[in-house]
Structure 1
Amino acid sequence: MTLLAHDRYCDEIAHQVGQLRALVTSGTDLSATVPTCPDWSLEELVRHTGGALRWVELMVRTRAEEEIPEERVPLGDGPEARGDAGALDAWLAETGEMLVDALREAGPDAKVWGWAGVLNAGFWARRMTHELTIHRADAVFAAGLPYEVAPEVAADAIDEWLQIVEFVQRTEPHDAARELRGPGRSIHLHATDTAPEINAEWVIELTEDVLVWRRGHEKATVALRGPLTAVLLAFYRRLPLDSAEVEVLGERELLEFWLERATFG
């Protein structure tokens, strides 16, 4: 599957950080509960997201050959002051600049430790793009605002999710993951609002041995249809399947079964 260009990921990280900063400084209540991550307030979500960016920046900048413990990341927990939108915004701005600078300086092929079988800075540029893409949606929902994302980014986020689930199934099988597999099971994702060149349709086959997926239009056991952003959010369990924005055709139970068990591990 063709990835986006490294510079495109870097640009999107900068854009997503900017959008998240705008939300932080908009007057939205930082103590508001995030409905899609109910254990977090909006401030805790932002601190988690920024902390992940700083962790990756440190690994990329130092060309880490093994995982760096999160407690070694300077200011990884965010600014000392709590409930201070200005301090949180300044920390997030610095965080985004640091990460984008580190990724651009490294280039996609620089060797860096990773956890999904891809050991280079390009993996982290892509991973952090989609970490931001989804967590900004969480933040937007907490603020009660509409959410938009570029179609090529949304499509790549679905590709990446499937590649990671496939990797976990292959290398770290566990009971919940094994339950996904079986003969005659397939899922079709169908975005209804994109240009043909994006080819925003996917087929996931849950065979007895492995998970297989590809872009394309084919009949399946169950189909999830709707605008691409809605399909993305439903597939990431950010939008309920009974939302008016998506349509489920076929064996809904299989899609629910997938959503309960398809995880990073």
Structure 2
Amino acid sequence: MQLIDERSAAFRVAVADAPDLDAPVPTCPGWTLFDLVKHLGGGDRFWAAIVGAGPADAPPAGAVAARAALELPREREALLAWLAASTEILLNALREAGPDADCWAWWSGLQTPRTSGGVARHRVQESAVHTYDARLAAGAPQPLPTEVALDGVEEFLFTCVATPSAWPHEPTAFDLHAAEGRSWRLTVDGDGARSTRIPAPAAGEASDAVGASVHGTAGELVLYLYDRIQAGSLRVDGDAGLLDLLRAWEPEA
């Protein structure tokens, strides 16, 4: 929860520093910085309601309606206060539930549990990536903090990619190597997609077990996974076309 608080505070600083709330967000086409604020703050309130509702097969109808009907102040100081209150609502819900409480979540549950702890881990990354977006909109992008980014690669693989839905192509694997010394392997086949942490390769070492390997800093890998930067910004070994297949894949829910 501390990391949620820290990244949310960093997001508010980015919003406070931006010259214009109507500035376009290059990494979120069609959105202004104000839209981004609404998305992140509304997301905090939405997930707070989900955690508070406990085990469920769908998000609470009231939470869905409330998010759709959000009205935010346009004055910057009031907007920042609304953002801070949104984060506190989420943190209070997470504290009250505890990390192991079951709740609804959109992910498969294969490698990330559908619990308040799983929600908290994902919200750290939402806040971190959107802080990057906000800084970019203000013309002053900053890299993701290393600790957050290292967990962010794994969290994305475990939450956003893991699925029991069959991979519709020839089975293969992808390795992701962070310059900070941590690596992961994503395997895709008829049983779906799942990831595991693997030993970092020795200098010059390559694996015949994978179709493509992606190398970069942890922050760059997170930004690539969230479609903020393209594969061309990183070092890719093997069949780069497989990355396009992975990006285009839409597993069944």
CA change 1:64–1:58 in 2 (3 A) is farther
- Of 110, 117, 124, the match for 1:129: 124
Cα displacement (A) at 1:150: 3.1
Task: Describe how 1:27-176 pairs up with structure 2 within 5 A.
Answer: 27-63=18-54, 65=56, 66-69=58-61, 70-73=63-66, 77-79=70-72, 81-82=73-74, 84-116=75-107, 117=109, 118-167=113-162, 169-170=163-164, 173=165
Residue 71 of structure 1 deviates from its aligned partner by 4.2
Supply the distance in 1 between the matched residues of 2:187 and 2:248 (Cα, whole angstroms).
17
Which residue identity lines up with residue 196 of structure 2 in the other structure? Answer: R
**Alpha-carbon deviations, 1:81-129, whole Å to 9, x = none?**
33x2212101001111121122122210223233333342112111211
Shift, 1:22, TM fit: 0.7
State the partner residue of 1:233: 223
User: Aligned to 1:252, which of 221, 240, 243?
Assistant: 240
Which letter maps to 1:131? Answer: E
- Structure 1 residue 78 displacement after superposition: 4.4
Q: Structure 2, unaligned stretches of length 5 or more?
A: 201-205
**CA distance in structure 1 between the partners assigned to 2:219 and 2:83 by the alignment:** 25
| 1-structure distance, mates of 2:105, 2:146 | 26
2:167 and 2:189 in contact (8 A); partners too: no
Deviations 1:133-168 (A, max 9, x none): 22222222212223233333222222222223454x
Measured at CA, do residues 119 and 71 of structure 1 come closer, stay the same or move farther in structure 2, by a change above 3 Å? closer
- CA 1:78–1:25 in 2, change beyond 3 Å: closer, same or farther? farther
RMSD: 2.4
Contact kept? 1:190, 1:202, Cα under 8 Å: yes
In structure 1, distance between residues paired with 2:237 and 2:245? 15
- Cα distance, 1:241–1:143 mapped onto 2, change above 3 Å: same
d(CA) in 1 for partners of 2:175 and 2:13? 35
- Structure 1 pair 264–104 and aligned structure 2 pair: CA distance change class (3 A): farther
Letter in 2 for 1:188: D
Distance 1:17 1:242 in 2: 30
Shift of 1:76: 6.5
User: 1:254 is aligned with what amino acid?
Assistant: L
The alpha-carbon deviation at position 264 of structure 1 amounts to 8.9
Native 8 Å contact 1:165 1:263 kept in 2: no
Q: Give the structure 2 partner of residue 207 of structure 1.
A: 189
Q: Which runs of 5+ in 1 are unaligned?
A: 1-9
Deviation at 1:241, TM superposition (A): 1.8
- Counterpart CA distance in 2 for 1:56 and 1:236 is 20
Residues 1:36 and 1:262: Cα distance change in structure 2 (over 3 Å): farther
Q: Tell me the residue number matched to 1:186.
A: 173
For 2:203, the equivalent position in structure 1 comes to none
Structure 2 counterpart SS, 1:225: strand
Q: Deviations over 1:232-261 (max 9, x none)?
A: 111221112222xx2112211111221232
1:136 is paired with a residue whose SS is helix
Aligned residue for 2:231, secondary structure, equals: coil
Q: Take 2:252 and 2:125, find their aligned partners in 1: how far apart are those partners?
A: 14
Q: 1:74 to 1:38 in 2, by over 3 A?
A: closer
- Looking at structure 1, the residues matched to 184 and 27 of structure 2 have their Cα atoms a distance apart, in angstroms, of 24
Residue identity (%): 31
